[in-house]
């Protein structure tokens, strides 16, 4: 698994250096910044800095700006990771390299992990840029336990990786990236608690958020970042994310492998 991992990492790094995907990079940063700016303007100029008690009890905090900024930050983070991994095979198909890849006896896990690890370099830059923007709009960066935040992010990355495998399967099935990915991203922005708590949604809609790792990742990140809670207190949330990952992984791995065969038959047969 190591060789396909390092090969894919190196290949994508070289491609990124020669043709950096500026449109995706700036697009993800801007979507995170838009969420922050929109929340800032509406909070101060529409709602005059007032929050009702229902928000405070549902969100578990009265710091609305930090709540939304972290929402925008983690949303962009998840969307970038999902896009990087899920588009891997369909990009090979479009560039005409899928056959050469599938001809080799290499581990597909190593391939996807290499994709994700290299993509994380770009995602890390986006994360840093949105965090910096958030700082100017009220995100506090003092007295933060960065280790706890990194632990939450690692658990979320693992679950997002497994979710990306399922998204990739749908992309291959529909032979489309744009509509498929954006349908999921719009749904995530609605049900995962990016700018408002999912409790504000009708119960049946809020339930969809329960199967998204991002919902629980956001709750966990806000607890450790805004409220400074220890990991022991966010452990049940981390467990939920891990369970989702454990459920998604075999489904994603089996489905994407099956879909690769179907694509080969339909496309090249």
Q: How far is the CB of 29 from other proteins (least distance, A)?
A: 23
Would you say 73 and 32 are in contact if contact means Cβ atoms under 8 Å apart?
Answer: yes
When binding is defined by CB under 8 A, the residue of 34, 99, 182, 254 that contacts other proteins is 99
End-to-end C-alpha distance for the chain, whole angstroms? 29
Tokens of 101: 């890849």
When binding is defined by CB under 8 A, the residue of 37, 51, 101, 117 that contacts other proteins is 101
Q: How far is the CB of 11 from other proteins (least distance, A)?
A: 5
Binding segment toward other proteins, per CB under 8 A, in 44-52, 93-101, 121-129, 237-245: 93-101
Q: What gap in Å lies between CA 78 and CA 1, rounded to an integer?
A: 25
Verify binding: residue 96, other proteins, rule CB under 8 A: yes
Q: How far is the CB of 259 from other proteins (least distance, A)?
A: 14
Would you say 170 and 180 are in contact if contact means Cβ atoms under 8 Å apart?
Answer: yes
Phi, psi of 229 (to 5 degrees): -75, 150
Verify binding: residue 175, other proteins, rule CB under 8 A: no
**Rounded alpha-carbon distances, angstroms, from residue 267 to 41, 91, 159, 175, 259:** 49, 14, 30, 10, 12
Count the Cβ atoms, other than its own, within 10 Å of residue 164: 28
Pattern of binders to other proteins over 1-30, x per CB under 8 A? --xx-xxx-xx--xx--xx-----------
Q: What gap in Å lies between CA 170 and CA 184, rounded to an integer?
A: 11
Binding segment toward other proteins, per CB under 8 A, in 26-34, 98-106, 144-152, 214-222: 98-106
Binding site for other proteins (CB under 8 A): 3-4, 6-8, 10-11, 14-15, 18-19, 95-97, 99-106, 261, 264-265, 268-269
């Amino acid at each position: 698994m190591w060789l396909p991992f390092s090969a894919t990492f190196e290949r994508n790094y070289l491609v990124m250096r020669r043709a950096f995907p500026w449109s995706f990079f700036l697009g993800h940063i801007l979507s995170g910044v838009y969420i922050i700016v929109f929340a800032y303007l509406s909070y101060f100029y529409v709602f005059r800095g007032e929050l009702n008690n229902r928000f405070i009890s549902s969100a578990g905090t009265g710091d609305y700006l930090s709540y939304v900024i972290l929402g925008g930050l983690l949303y962009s983070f998840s969307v970038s990771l999902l896009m990087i991994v899920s588009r891997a095979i369909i990009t090979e198909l479009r560039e005409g390299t899928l056959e050469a890849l599938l001809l080799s006896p290499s581990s597909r896990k190593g391939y996807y992990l290499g994709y994700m690890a290299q993509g994380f370099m770009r995602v890390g830059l986006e994360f840093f840029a949105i965090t910096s923007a958030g700082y100017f709009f009220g995100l506090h960066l003092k007295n933060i336990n960065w280790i706890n935040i990194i632990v939450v992010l690692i658990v979320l990355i693992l679950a997002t990786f497994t979710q990306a495998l399922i998204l990739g399967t749908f992309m291959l099935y529909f032979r489309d990236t744009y509509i498929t990915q954006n349908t999921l991203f719009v749904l995530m922005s609605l049900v995962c608690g990016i700018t408002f708590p999912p409790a504000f949604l009708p119960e049946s809609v809020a339930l969809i958020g329960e199967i998204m790792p991002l919902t629980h990742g956001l709750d966990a990140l806000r607890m450790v970042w805004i409220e400074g809670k220890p990991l022991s207190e966010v452990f049940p949330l981390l467990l939920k994310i891990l369970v989702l990952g454990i459920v998604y992984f075999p489904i994603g791995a089996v489905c994407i492998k099956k879909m690769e065969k179907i694509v080969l038959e339909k496309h090249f047969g």
